[in-house]
């Protein structure tokens, strides 16, 4: 059910922390990759070795005692979903008010993936105006909540505030990670192709592949069946199928063998290649006054031209203005064109951020601010989801 999904389980200081051990077990049994964070208070209720035995990895317990350089940001980026269970009143208050004074709250504030909160506290704390206000804020932020339930509480009390049972939290996790992509096949291309001049030299471009890989990670988190065709040597979500290529011809061949419902063509494919690549390295002494070029396959056009064509997203990396991107969107016949000016600071090749504009089939433009590439990926998938739904 959750095969290959990356779940970060955050355990805070309440007696209900003992249930989090069973929740971790259920997540692992469902095929998820699970990492655990524990607050200092959580350590008073359950030992870290319990979670280490269940997940196969020692929990992270502080901002400064982990092997990671920046545990809150690295774990925030690693996860497809952050689950805070139990989420105490204090933790909810800190998150709602942007207070990041421990590993859990810092991670929640640093992540861009969905967050599921499982509140647990006494009834009086649950009903307090401050908690009510904090919950309203958290819902406005887009956080997901599960529970609490009515039942026995700490100290023998009975009332509303008991943490949701692990099976209920599991159902919420499955609902979030199932996403709109459940059962849909999506093809993503990434990176810049390299066209050989000889066995050593090549013609290429500056594309790093970071944008395409960010889209692939975000698509997996939404439940899509992802195939990534990439030239980049970058980490890939374990649930994605990866086909590594180098040249435009190789990418064309790989794409031709895939039958997706959605195609996001983020790769920077070379338009030309050396017509006759040398079989051995060309000595400098021999000189090379010119290189005869030949056209490479137009991979985007081949996808758009299919009889049963997928919903197709193209990319236009330009060096000024929207006009060329608008023209390209119309000429290529894509459902959505993603434009960015690669000369703009923070928006060029190799960066972790991007400033893009969306151009739809009618030529309407939506310009986005400078965002992290993972956030740009989420915005692209939002448009894809709406477009596929409308087309369907």
How far apart (Å, rounded) are the C-alpha atoms in residues 247 and 265?
15
Helices (H), 56-121: 71-78, 89-96, 103-110
How far apart (Å, rounded) are the C-alpha atoms in residues 82 and 88?
15
- Compute and round to an integer the Cα radius of gyration of the chain: 24
Asked if residue 181 lies in contact with residue 41, where contact means CB atoms within 8 angstroms, the answer is no
Torsion angle, CA of 121/126/128/132, rounded to 10 degrees?
130
Identify the CA nearest to 267 among candidates 193, 191, 335, 334. Answer: 191
Identify the CA nearest to 227 among candidates 210, 244, 203. Answer: 244
Active site residue 205: yes
- Where does residue 280 rank: exposed (0-12), middle (13-18), buried (19+ CB within 10 A)? exposed
Asked if residue 263 lies in contact with residue 306, where contact means CB atoms within 8 angstroms, the answer is no
Asked if residue 169 lies in contact with residue 146, where contact means CB atoms within 8 angstroms, the answer is yes
**Which member of 97, 134, 205, 354 is catalytic?**
205
Asked if residue 119 lies in contact with residue 86, where contact means CB atoms within 8 angstroms, the answer is yes
Find out whether the peptide bond into 322 is cis, omega within 30 degrees of 0.
no
Known catalytic residues are 205
């Amino acid at each position: 059910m959750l095969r290959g999904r990356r779940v970060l389980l955050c355990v805070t200081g309440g007696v209900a922390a003992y249930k989090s051990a069973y929740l971790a077990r259920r997540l692992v049994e469902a095929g998820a990759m699970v990492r655990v964070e524990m607050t200092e208070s959580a350590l008073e209720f359950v030992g870290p070795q319990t979670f280490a035995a269940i997940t196969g990895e020692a929990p992270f317990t502080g901002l400064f005692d982990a092997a990671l350089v920046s545990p809150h940001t690295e774990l925030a980026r690693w996860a497809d979903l952050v689950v805070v269970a139990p989420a105490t009143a204090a933790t909810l208050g800190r998150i709602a008010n942007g207070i990041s004074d421990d590993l859990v709250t810092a991670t929640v504030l640093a992540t861009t993936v969905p967050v599921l909160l499982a509140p647990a506290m006494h009834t009086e704390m649950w009903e307090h105006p401050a908690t009510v206000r904090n919950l309203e804020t958290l819902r406005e932020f887009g956080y997901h909540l599960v529970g609490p339930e009515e039942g026995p509480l700490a100290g023998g009390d009975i009332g509303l505030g008991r943490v949701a049972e692990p099976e209920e939290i599991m159902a919420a996790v499955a609902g979030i990670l199932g996403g709109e992509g459940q059962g849909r096949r999506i093809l993503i291309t990434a990176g810049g192709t390299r066209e050989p001049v000889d066995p050593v030299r090549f013609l290429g471009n500056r594309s790093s592949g970071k944008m395409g890989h960010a889209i692939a990670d975000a698509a997996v988190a939404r439940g899509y069946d992802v195939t990534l065709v990439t030239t980049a040597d970058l980490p890939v979500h374990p649930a994605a199928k990866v086909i590594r290529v180098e040249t435009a011809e190789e990418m064309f061949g790989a794409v031709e063998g895939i039958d997706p419902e959605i195609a996001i063509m983020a790769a920077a494919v070379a338009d030309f290649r050396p017509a006759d690549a040398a079989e051995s390295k060309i000595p400098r002494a021999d000189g090379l006054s010119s290189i005869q070029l030949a056209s490479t396959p137009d991979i985007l056009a081949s996808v758009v031209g299919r009889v049963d064509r997928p919903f197709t997203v193209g990319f236009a990396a330009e060096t000024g203005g929207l006009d060329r991107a608008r023209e390209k969107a119309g000429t290529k016949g894509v459902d959505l064109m993603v434009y960015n000016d690669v000369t703009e600071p923070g928006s060029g090749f190799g960066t972790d951020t991007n400033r893009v504009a969306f151009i739809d089939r009618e030529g309407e433009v939506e310009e986005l601010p400078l965002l992290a590439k993972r956030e740009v990926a989420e915005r692209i998938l939002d448009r894809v989801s709406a477009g596929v739904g409308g087309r369907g």
